[in-house]
Every structure is written in structure tokens, then in C-alpha cells.
Amino acid sequence: MKNLLDGIEEILLMGPGPSCVPEEVYKALSKKTLGHLDPYFLEIMEELKDMLRKMMNTKNNLTIPISGTGSAGMETSFVNLIEPGDRVLILLNGVFGMRMQDVATRLGAHVDVLEFPWGKSVIPEVVEKKVKENSYKIVAVVHAETSTGVRNPVDEIGDILGDSETIYLVDSVTGLGGIEVRMDDWNIDVLYSGTQKCLSCPPGLAPLSFSDRAMAKLNARKTKVPNWYLDLTMIANYWGQNRVYHHTAPVNMLYGLYQALFLILEEGPENVFRRHLDAHKMLVAGLEEIGLKMLVEEKWRLPMLNAVCTPDNKDELSIRRRLRSEHKIEIGGGLGPLSGKIWRIGLMGHTARQENVSRLLRALKSVLS
């Protein structure tokens, strides 16, 4: 019998995620599976929570990985906090803002959307006016909009919301591990991420943190959380001191995340962010030399997700296919209204290295000529 796994090649992952995985993380994933209530595994869980707090710069007690991909982090955040009729404001400038709108609407929230042009950032002054005129239970924004390569001013929006009653919810699936995230300083109440972007672990977990204020809204619910699997009141009992069984933690995935966080903290988050920025600058310079243009204005560019306008006279899909087949490099295409118009070149986590940038630039030059 032929085993398809024997045919897996090593591809340089320079798309919008997953990113390249360090050897140490693969090794961690293949360590012996322990029982999910094993005392040694519980020690690993405790340290994982601490490492996540360091990455997010938060003191929040409930800081844990959710068993599921980044979207499970999004779903967990909304499903635990929304009660039918709650007024929610989504700041939208890309695909992942749209996903938030969909998730919140399905839960029966009264959703307002403040939309900004895709490829441009959210404007804090416009948000300020909107939140002054209305009373929202939740304001939600995407930190690093992976569909467009835009960084949103999450810190400034946090200043505007300040100590108001409004819960401030931030998607940093692509941000965490690539650019600074200061959850407590930026007044963020709810933050979630994913493992396969700048944390450089395979997809499968969603780090998430809830502030005391978010926990208070959860605990004051009049109705049960309408989703059993993602109900944080039960999950917190499993990750807390009681260790009450809820679902079986994906033990080996958690080893992988442990190792991925260990590597970032060992290198030093500041150094990791600088590595992203250096690789990004080198990429932009190289792309401009070939005559390609960036979609996003310099100030709002994400180092880990580079949106590049595709050349007019070429079939962009066939170029991506050739990069994959001839050069073993994956880059991403555009989503929604940007489909066919941009490439999305990821420099996420372990991928964000100058040698990878050189390899891509060489390959692009050869394919484009």
C-alpha cells in the first residue's frame, strides 16, 4: 500500500500561515503522550499559562490555549460574552473583521459595523465618535489583518475605550509573536491568537486571555453559554486548580506550543520582533527593485504579512504555482475583493529570516523573467 505521507516535501511556507516550524517543535510534538491529568503534564500546563502571559504582557488569571484553531479563539471570545440583544461594534477592514461580524450576528447580538477601506487602517478618531454616540457592550477589532497586511492601532483604540464598561476584544492571531502585544497596558479585555502564524507551531490551538472585567461579564450571564465545548466557565475549571475534566486536552499539541513559546522567550521577544522587521525591510526593498508595489502605506504595514500588488501583465496564479512546483515556496493569493490583485507574502515566526527572503526574491525574479 502506498503511504501518501512519504511524499510530503519540505516547502518554504511564506504564505499567510501556516509558517515554517522549527525542528525543536517537531521533536516536542513527537514526545510520549502523557495522561491529560498526569501530574507532570499539569506542571507543563501551568508553565504554558505563564509563558502565554509573558507573550501577551498580561497578568490575567484566565490565559490558556483553546483546543482549536484561531477561529475557535474568536468563537470562544464571542460565544462566552454575547447575550442576545447585546450591542456590539465591529471595526472592519478585512476578511477577519467580516468573520467577527458573522460570528457575533449568529449569536443574536445587535451588531454595528464601522468599515474602513481594505488596505487602510482603522482611524481612532472615527471610532471615538461612534463609541461616544452609542453604548456598546463589546468593541472588537483585528490587530493584524492578515487579508490585507494592515496593522490596526489597537493601543490607541484601547486608550479611547479606557476604563469604560465596554469590553475591548482584540484578534491578534497574526500579531502575537511578530509584533508587540501589551494586553494590560492597552486596556484589552479579551485577546486570542493562533499557533500557526508567528508562534511557528502547526495549526491546532488558540491562545486566549480574559481580563477580570471580561470574566465578570461572563459570570453575570443570565443564560448559559450557548456552546458546550467552548464554555469558559467549564474550561476554566479544567485549567484552574480544580482540574475538573471537561474535554481531553490535545496533549502533544500542547507540547508543541510549549516548545514554540520556549524558543521565542529564549531568543527574547524584542529580538524576535526585530528579526521580523529586518526581514520585512529586506523583502520590501527587494520587491521594489523588481518593480513590484506594496498595497499598504508604510506606516501601517505588518512586517509578518506583506501585501504586494500583482503585476498587471502576468497571470498571478500561474506564478504562484511555479513558485510552489519549481522552487518549493508557498506564497498566498488575495481574498475577497483583493482576490487576483495581491500576493500575500508571510514572514511569520521561524520563516522571518533573511535567507528565506533572498531565496524568495531569487525565485520570483526567475519566474517573472
Ligand X SMILES: *Cc1c(COP(=O)(O)O)cnc(C)c1O
Distance in Å, CB of 142 to ligand X, minimum:
5
Amino acid identity of residue 304, one-letter, is: M
DSSP state of 298: G
The residue at minimum Cβ distance from ligand X is 70
Distance in Å, CB of 11 to ligand X, minimum:
18
- In 201-319, where do the E strands start and end? 205-210, 305-309
For residue 228, the tally of other CB atoms under 10 A from its CB is: 10
**Segment 50 to 69, residues that bind ligand X, using CB under 6 A:** 69
Quick check: 28 binds ligand X (CB under 6 A)? Answer: no
CB 126 within 8 A of CB 120: no
Residue number, 93 or 356, with CB nearest to ligand X: 93
**Segment 177 to 236, residues that bind ligand X, using CB under 6 A:** 194, 203
Query: How far apart, in whole angstroms, are the C-alpha atoms of residue 183 and residue 154?
Result: 10
Quick check: 171 binds ligand X (CB under 6 A)? Answer: yes
Distance in Å, CB of 307 to ligand X, minimum:
13
| DSSP state string for 337-361 | GGTTTEEEEE--GGG--HHHHHHHH
Residue number, 29 or 364, with CB nearest to ligand X: 29
Residues in contact with ligand X, total (CB under 6 A)? 13
Distance in Å, CB of 144 to ligand X, minimum:
6
Residue number, 17 or 158, with CB nearest to ligand X: 17
Beta strands at 205-210 and 190-192: parallel, antiparallel or unpaired: antiparallel
186: left (phi over 0), alpha (psi -120 to 50) or beta: alpha
Residue number, 109 or 205, with CB nearest to ligand X: 205
CB 176 within 8 A of CB 200: no
The three grid cell numbers given for residue 271, joined into one nine-digit string = 529580538
Residue number, 144 or 357, with CB nearest to ligand X: 144
Quick check: 121 binds ligand X (CB under 6 A)? Answer: no
Residue in 71, 105, 233, 237 binding ligand X, rule: CB under 6 A: 71
The three grid cell numbers given for residue 20, joined into one nine-digit string = 515554517
Distance in Å, CB of 368 to ligand X, minimum:
27
Residues in contact with ligand X by CB under 6 A are 17, 69-71, 74, 96, 142, 146, 171, 173-174, 194, 203
